[in-house]
Amino acid sequence: MTSNTSLWKHTKTWFHRWGSPAWFYRTSGLIIPWLWAGFFLLAVPGLFWGLFIAPADYLQGDSYRIIFIHVPSAWQSMLIFAVMAGFALIGMVWRIRVAETLAMCCAPIGAAFTVVTLISGSLWGKPTWGTFWQWDGRMTSELVLLFLYLGVIGLQQAIEEPRRAARAAGLLALVGVVNLPIIHYSVEWWTTLHQGTTVSLLGESSIAPSMLWPLLLMVGAAKFFFAANLLSRTRNTLLVQDREKNWVRETVWGVKQ
């Protein structure tokens, strides 16, 4: 029991330490290079395998290779919204500024992944479906997701005071994450009523292992890419916000107070 409570205490102090911008700045600086290493370690073989070694699809030819960008960024774009809402909730409950900043820094990265998903999807749609855009359920909800991300960014930028902006936009992210499943199912239902999906994404057969492995590598690479970007972005934001504070002078300019 005692060891249990001390473990809990350790976890709690560890957790609270992350709430200090100075600690966050220093520790994330140590982690970021490893995240980039993880990204390259997965992305380089993943891309090479996917683009050159994996066999061409018997239906779609080489155009299916967009999958190695498209699917990882699609999954990532949805995951980031959940991460953003999670940080916003932590920020709201415990009033931790680092968490609020992390949530706000998720939004532009998530929006970028959503844009990549939409563009790569329509580039893939042209040769396989014969059209750049189809009001298919998944495409429509991805588009709505982009609008939700833009809403969070827009609200944050419209409010002058940074903490109030982060809190308001974080609340919007929480509302969005509750609403997202409803939006997704309503849109899915809307398309099934109007017209059946004409082409299923992966053709008739389930995906072959020779295509699955590079895909999984790229999915992992997207996670590392996101984490590295999120930490860098948050560090920079904290530096700008705290430019008058002592810890910034000490860590950046080396001025001892």
Place of tokens 């953003």: 84
Nearer residue to another protein within complex by CB, 126 or 164: 164
Residues 171-175: contacts with CB under 8 Å, at least 24 apart: 171/88, 171/92, 173/81, 173/84, 173/85, 173/88, 173/103, 173/107, 174/85, 174/88, 174/89, 174/92
Stretch of residues binding another protein (CB under 8 A), selected from 21-29, 146-154, 215-223, 243-251: 146-154
Amino acid at 253: W
Stretch of residues binding another protein (CB under 8 A), selected from 59-67, 78-86, 111-119, 159-167: 159-167
* Cβ at position 189, least distance to another protein in Å: 7
Rounded alpha-carbon distances, angstroms, from residue 31 to 100, 154, 200:
20, 30, 40
66 touches another protein (CB under 8 A):
no
Is the CB of residue 203 less than 8 Å from the CB of residue 57? Answer: yes
Instruction: Report the residue from 26, 147, 208, 245 that binds another protein according to the rule CB under 8 A.
Output: 147
Measured distance between the N- and C-terminal CA atoms of the chain, rounded to whole angstroms: 43
Instruction: Report the residue from 154, 198, 246, 252 that binds another protein according to the rule CB under 8 A.
Output: 154
155 touches another protein (CB under 8 A):
yes
Task: Tell me which residue of 217, 197, 200 sits closest to 60, measured CA to CA.
Answer: 200
Instruction: Report the residue from 79, 115, 150, 207 that binds another protein according to the rule CB under 8 A.
Output: 150
130 touches another protein (CB under 8 A):
no
Instruction: Report the residue from 42, 84, 139, 187 that binds another protein according to the rule CB under 8 A.
Output: 187
Number of residues that bind another protein (CB under 8 A): 30
Instruction: Report the residue from 21, 46, 176, 214 that binds another protein according to the rule CB under 8 A.
Output: 176
